[in-house]
Amino acid sequence: MITGGRKLEGTLAISGAKNAALPLIAATLLTGDTLELRNVPELADVVSMMRLVQRLGVASTYLPGEPGRVAFHCQELLSTTAPYDLVRKMRASVLVLGPLLARGGEAIVSMPGGCAIGTRPIDLHLSGMERLGAIIELSQGYVTARAPAGGLKGARIELTQPSVGATENLLMAAATAKGTTTIIGAAREPEIVDLALLLSSMGAAIEGAGTSTITIEGVAQLHGAVHSIMPDRIEAGTYVMAAGITGGRLHITGGDLGLLGGAREKLEEAGLQFTDTADGFAVSVASEGLRGTDVMTRPYPGFPTDLQAQFMALMCNAEGASMITETIFENRFMHVPELARMGAQITIHGGSALVRGQGARGTTLRGAPVMATDLRASVSLVLAALAAEGETEINRIYHLDRGYEHLEQKLQAVGACVERIP
């Protein structure tokens, strides 16, 4: 339950990145030594991934000291099957495919579930594993992958599109494959760089992470390491827009402006201004207010699809119209009918949405009962509610818990009137 109309002001800390934590947890399957991850966020998706690797043989222990320190130890694989009851909850579960194949020589993984934002097929994961020598079979909703007798072998893999998940899966599979693997057309997201940093600290030989060509020299085995998870750039971008839509000013600690990629330029174009600080950055709205700004989602370093719904909410309070074009996922406008219930004026034309901002005429968003449909759509409704007149009731907030750590506490601390209703 959110009562809108309050400017957000104060200091807000950014948590560890969900999209980095999930592949890092999958990587704990690759070694019999202990891996310590720091800055692990408390999120439903992280819990789901920890339960999955636990089923496969990974013991995890929360360590004393700062929050988010977890020790993982997989002395031996207890299973090479990732069952439907765990995988159906989260698409990122398919990231255990590469580590299981590399260490166990076999992986039986249920076809993944997750957000209802598009098909997101795993063809690129499977064709890449086949290039490394794996034999793939699909049957009754499961992928069965088996390594050849001598183990996986390095290969040249060309991705037809820069899939983040496929790049991560292939990085983990190739780390101990015999010979050299080159991934052409790799995704460039910072989360892939974070995974490469962990694998390198475990003894892997990786060059080019963060570029479109990654080279991996296979090593015989990987060892333990300590690694701190990068800050969540999507969470940071979301709270930047929370400051913008309420006309407030936030000091974001633990965030890195450089990780926003192409989003920073568009946010500045829309009227937000940034100032670097010793421990992060500050954000506020320029004196002229928010301006309608066109965006098109692109792979990193372009404008992220994971910030598209939030940007649409921001543009509802801008002066002038904006065209938002989604090129990554075909079903990622499911928040539009819910925003319309709050008074937003949005028209969809295929893969684009025309937003008629009402900033010059004062806030037109009004509180209403709305329903979250997926993770990022749900937080766009939170942003709209923070700026709306009156009360907004947001249902199905379990989507929020998948990707935003302590959301209501963080917002309350900077002046929002928000309450979780049991």
Taking only the tens place, the pLDDT of each residue in 280-293 is: 999 999 999 999 99
- The token pair that represents 160 in the structure block: 């037809």
Question: Is beta strand 156-158 parallel, antiparallel or unpaired with respect to 369-371?
Answer: unpaired
Q: At what angle do helices 233-246 and 262-269 cross, to 10 degrees?
A: 0
Tell me the β-bridge partners of 181: 216
Which residue type is seen at 397?
A: I
What's the rounded mean pLDDT across residues 37-54? Answer: 96
Does position 119 have pLDDT exceeding 80, yes or no?
Answer: no
Q: Which band of pLDDT confidence, cut at 50, 70 and 90, is reported for residue 20?
A: very high
Q: What is the per-residue DSSP string for 67-83?
A: TT-EEEE-SS-S-SEE-
Angle 338-344-348 from CA coordinates, rounded to 5°: 75
pLDDT computed for residue 110 by the predictor: 87
- Element (DSSP H or E) covering residue 337: helix 336-341
pLDDT computed for residue 362 by the predictor: 56
- Classify 371 in phi/psi space as left (phi over 0), alpha (psi -120 to 50) or beta: beta
Instruction: Give 196 or 120, the one with higher predicted confidence.
Output: 196
Q: Which band of pLDDT confidence, cut at 50, 70 and 90, is reported for residue 115?
A: very low
Dihedrals phi, psi of 54, to nearest 5 degrees: -65, -40
Does position 117 have pLDDT exceeding 70, yes or no?
Answer: no
Q: Which residues are annotated as a binding site for phosphoenolpyruvate?
A: 18-19
Does position 361 have pLDDT exceeding 70, yes or no?
Answer: no
Q: Which residues contact 395 (CB under 8 A, 6 or more apart)?
A: 369, 370, 371, 372
Which residue type is seen at 66?
A: E
pLDDT computed for residue 56 by the predictor: 97
Angle 192-171-72 from CA coordinates, rounded to 5°: 80
Task: Tell me the per-residue pLDDT of 223-281, one tens digit each, with 9 for 90 and over.
Answer: 999 999 999 999 999 999 999 999 999 999 998 999 998 899 999 999 999 999 999 99
Domains of the chain: 2-14+232-418 (3.65.10.10), 18-220 (3.65.10.10)
Q: Which residues are annotated as a binding site?
A: 18-19, 91, 120-124, 306, 328
CB-based burial label for 405 (10 Å; 0-12, 13-18, 19+): buried
What's the rounded mean pLDDT across residues 103-132? Answer: 79
pLDDT computed for residue 204 by the predictor: 98
Q: Which residues are annotated as a binding site for UDP-N-acetyl-alpha-D-glucosamine?
A: 91, 120-124, 306, 328
Gap between the Cα atoms of 239 and 270, Å rounded? 15
Contact predicate 289/319, CB 8 Å = yes
Contact predicate 35/225, CB 8 Å = yes
Q: How far is CA 109 from CA 86, 113, 114, 142, 167, in A?
A: 10, 12, 15, 6, 18
Does position 214 have pLDDT exceeding 90, yes or no?
Answer: yes
pLDDT computed for residue 114 by the predictor: 44
Which residues have a catalytic role annotated? Answer: 115
